[in-house]
Structure 1
């Protein structure tokens, strides 16, 4: 488990996912692909979030676009963590993450690297950044995936 009090390590994780994202780039020829455009009302962030859903599981999750370090790192980590999850598992995960970001009770142990954002709820201007990709993934799962 990550030491959420180690601010240097938390910043390093955020910057690694922002500067070298593992899940950046939309797959244009993917079957069972759903894409949702997400843009921020408070800054210039504008991303596409992609879910590829087959055999009742998320087989891939991707994003592309312009983002700040918080939204870019958050969506990259989220994409990794929802892969190989069912719709219900991913929604449960997203709800837990949303609770953490908004300062509600959450299960810390299940969040993995997303714990780097545990204090975002104290920074009102960053909450939208941290939720931009999560809201896109949730929208796809709730409205597109059957």
Structure 2
């Protein structure tokens, strides 16, 4: 039962990242979002990705124009990703948002979801193959040479 739950969680994560990547790749709108505030993160050289203090991401509260007015939401930038025109003191950051859901955002140049899909697909495949082998081994391993096969002469 636990093995099936793990498989379901892996498949859910895979689907979630794949859907997000698809929506932003095919329905994404690029905008220059005004940074309203940010949390503490990404200390060290810009784009290093390995920061001794803070974390591996920084979250910005941003405001950007949408067809019906302005929208305010959060966008998370991995420290290793440097969007175009970033770091010039403009107080803005280039992002993409899903035209159908402006709260679904990513920083321009962030491929985290696509990378996660590749990794999760391999992990899920390995897990499911291992699970199938374990089930088959359990079924075949229970039989002995002298055990009845269910066939009658």
* Bigger RCO of structures 1 and 2 (CA < 8 A, at least 6 apart): 1
User: Taking structure 2 as the reference length, what is the TM-score of the superposition?
Assistant: 0.23
Q: Give the structure with the larger strand fraction.
A: 2
Largest Rg, 1 or 2: 2
Q: Give the structure with the larger helix fraction.
A: 1
User: Taking structure 1 as the reference length, what is the TM-score of the superposition?
Assistant: 0.24
